[in-house]
Amino acid sequence: MSGAVWHWTDHQGLLFYLNSKTKNIMSKVRVRFAPSPTGPLHMGGVRTALYNYLFAKKHGGDFLLRIEDTDQNRYVPGAEQYIMESLQWCGIHWDEGPGTENAFGPYRQSERKEIYRQYAMQLIESGRAYYAFDTPEELEAMRKRIEAEKSGNPQYDSRSRLSMKNSLTLSGDDVERRLAAGENYVIRIKTPENEEIVLEDIIRGTVKVHSSQLDDKVLFKSDGMPTYHLANVVDDYLMKISHVIRGEEWLPSAPLHVLLYQSLGWEASMPQFAHLPLLLKPDGNGKLSKRDGDRLGFPVFPLQWKDPNSGETSSGYREAGYFPEAFVNLLALLGWNPGTEQEIFSLEELVASFSLERVGKSGSKFDPEKAKWFNHHYLQSQPVEIVAEQMQEMARQQGQENTLEKLQKIATLMRERANFVYEILEQSQFFFEAPTHYDEGFAKKRWKEDTPEILKKLADVLEEVEPFDTESIHQVTHQFMEENQVGAGKLMPGLRLALVGSGMGPDLSTIMEILGREESLQRIRHAAENLKV
């Protein structure tokens, strides 16, 4: 948390901010989520998007989606679509993005190509950047040389650039000739030699880096596309982004971005930064990565993803049976907390409670067990109609056809013991088919010599129950126990074995109501005839 930054909102949701550099600037909150379509978004990316969204909505601002596809070599077909579908599934809706027509668009960097060149040229003209003609081999040789000499960082920087082929070392004529001849070139930033770069991070406070540690990063590539660094600064400026909320992996290059704002003369409208702690692998160390796929025993992706190149499929939270509400809830609490003991939050509640000041500094490991607990909660609070519909669909895929009415009864009865809809179905199989075998251990303990006789007698009584519903069955069964001097501990386990096939499950009267008279009696009599211990 930075001591130098305070902010508060008014009722219009405008954010006034004040920091040590800028004075009393009033601006609308505009944030962006800027993924690269190089594959599926993993849960860490979704969390970044979520925090951006929450922050924007909290302050009545805009949330934009910008596709950072400046690396044409890494483009993966379907990735952009996947990203959008993932956000939509989570309920994270963007105000501006690909597909929305707006003065700030387009929102794909590949469609903004010409814009960047103009600013790269501006930097060249003002002496803040320069052309470089070095080949990959020459770059490699330079790194090796510095490494061997131990004369500094093996990088293209204010020291080494003087021994390279660029518009700082070459004559003006030579540079002109090379450009005219169409020789490959890049544009690099000319990092100041001796300057302290200070940035205020909302989460981390003041971060200082000396410019001598920074290298002359490529801003504009030989293929005519900008690198992330240039594109991101130019777009954030043009799109009037007020806060850059992104992963901690960007912290080391944040000083470069500050330098770019300064060099382009945009320092007064530079956004505020907030670098989020990373999501870590639950086993061992390191940040969670796409490569982790299903290796850890739980999905790392919001939605299932099929890699178009390898054909490999990675599972997603949606397909694993998670409700988007649960996924969003658990993600929100991974790195942020409200300062109260509330843990269950709807998206609306998150919007109301969220603040960057309460985002922690250290990385968090994801706990699959707690994820299940969240889903359990949302399974209980879901309208039972929805649960039944999902059960119907799942059962249908397994070739089972059931009425919604029956499934609703089952869902009501069974869901509290399940974490996922599919678990309800798994634990409810006895509703759909009669036991084909009986749990041996349970039978051994509870199926007594006289159990078949008692059950047959009970079946005869149940034959007459009217109506055949939970209440009547319950009443008649208890009356039966009393009249026949049979305790519940004696009758019920056997009855359960007959109806369910094992020693588990909910209330037997309710089970019988759902099964119906015919099926219930058939099961009881079948067990009485056939089960021998």
Subset of residues 459 to 478 that bind RNA, contact rule: CB under 7 A: none
Distance CA 272, CA 11 (A): 21
Q: How far is the CB of 482 from RNA (least distance, A)?
A: 14
Q: Which stretch binds RNA (CB under 7 A): 21-29, 359-367, 388-396, 457-465?
A: 359-367
What DSSP assignment string belongs to 178-240? Answer: HHHTT---EEEE---SS-EEEEEETTTEEEEEEGGGS---EEE-TTS-B-HHHHHHHHHHHTT
Tokens 């954030």 locate to: 236
Shortest Cβ 439–RNA spacing (Å): 9
Quick one: which of 71, 85, 195, 349 contacts RNA (CB under 7 A)? 71
Query: CA-to-CA distance for 38 and 310, rounded, in angstroms?
Result: 14
Binding positions for RNA, 181-210, rule CB under 7 A: 184, 186, 204-205, 207-210
* Inter-residue contact 124 to 106 (CB < 8 Å): no
- Closer CB to RNA, residue 435 or residue 505? 505
302 vs 363 by CB, closer to RNA: 363
Site for RNA in 208-237 (CB under 7 A): 208-210, 213, 215, 218, 221-223, 225, 227-229
By CB under 7 A, what part of segment 397-436 binds RNA?
A: 416-417
Q: Which stretch binds RNA (CB under 7 A): 8-16, 21-29, 166-174, 331-339?
A: 331-339
Residues 282-301 interacting with RNA (rule: CB under 7 A): 284-287
476, β-bridge pairs: none
Q: How far is the CB of 202 from RNA (least distance, A)?
A: 12
Q: Pseudo-torsion of CA 191, 192, 195, 198, nearest 10°?
A: -40
Residues of this chain, 86-105, that bind RNA according to CB under 7 A: none
Q: Report the residue number, 58 or 372, with the smaller CB distance to RNA.
A: 372
Q: Give the residue with the Cβ less far from RNA, 418 or 521.
A: 418
Closer residue to RNA, CB minimum distance, 145 or 396: 145
504 forms part of the interface with RNA (CB under 7 A) = yes
From candidates 34, 175, 462, 531, binder to RNA by CB under 7 A: 34
Among 365, 396, 448, 526, binds RNA (CB under 7 A): 365
- Phi-psi category of residue 205: left, alpha or beta, with phi > 0 → left and psi -120 to 50 → alpha: left
Minimum CB separation of residue 26 from RNA in Å reads 29
Query: Beta strand pairing status for 6-9 and 279-280?
Result: unpaired
CA 369 distance to own-chain centroid = 16
Query: Residue from 496, 514, 520, 521 that binds RNA (CB under 7 A)?
Result: 496
- The H-or-E segment that residue 87 falls in is helix 79-90
Catalytic residue among 113, 240, 287, 290: 290
Q: Is 445 a catalytic residue?
A: no
Q: Which is nearer to RNA, 14 or 76 (CB)?
A: 76
Nearer to RNA, 303 or 491 (CB): 491
What CA–CA distance (Å, rounded) separates 208 from 200? 9
Among 114, 149, 173, 369, binds RNA (CB under 7 A): 369
Q: Residue 212 is which amino acid? A: S
Helices (H), 363-485: 368-381, 384-397, 404-414, 421-427, 429-432, 440-446, 451-462, 470-483
What are the two backbone dihedrals, phi and then psi, of residue 199, each rounded to the nearest 5 degrees?
-135, 145
* 135 to 164: interface string for RNA, x by CB under 7 A: xx--x---x---------xxxx--------
Instruction: Record the tokens describing residue 171, joined without a space.
Output: 């004559």
Distance separating alpha carbons of residues 350 and 329, to the nearest angstrom: 8
Question: From the CA atom positions of the chain, what is the Rg in Å?
Answer: 32
* CB contact at 8 A, 481 and 491: yes
Amino acid at 330: L
Q: Which of residues 36-55 bind RNA (CB under 7 A)?
A: 36, 38
Whichever of 14 and 115 has its CB closer to RNA, that residue is: 115
- Residue 70 binding RNA, by CB under 7 A: yes
Q: State yes or no: residue 343 binds RNA (CB under 7 A).
A: yes
Complex with RNA: residue 221 or 409, whichever CB lies closer: 221
Q: Should residue 334 be labelled a site residue for RNA when binding is judged by CB under 7 A? A: yes
What are φ and ψ of residue 283, in 5° steps? Answer: -100, 140
Among the candidate windows 7-15, 134-142, 174-182, 397-405, which touches RNA by CB under 7 A? Answer: 134-142
As measured in angstroms, the least distance from the Cβ of 16 to RNA is 24
**29 or 187: CB nearest RNA:** 187
As a whole number of angstroms, the distance between CA 388 and CA 380 comes to 12
Tell me if 507 contacts RNA by CB under 7 A: yes
Q: How far is the CB of 487 from RNA (least distance, A)?
A: 8
Residue from 364, 110, 340 nearest 225 by CA: 110
Long-range contacts of residues 477-484, Cβ cutoff 8 Å, at least 24 apart: 477/508, 477/509, 484/454, 484/457
Q: How far is the CB of 11 from RNA (least distance, A)?
A: 26
C-beta atoms surrounding 282 within 10 Å: 15
Min. distance of Cβ 211 from RNA in angstroms? 10
Contact 408, 389 (CB under 8 A): no
Q: Does 364 bind RNA (CB under 7 A)?
A: yes
What are the backbone angles phi and psi of residue 446, rounded to the nearest 5°?
A: -110, -15
**Single residue of 15, 33, 35, 273 touching RNA by CB under 7 A:** 35
Contact 186, 217 (CB under 8 A): no
Active site positions, annotated = 290
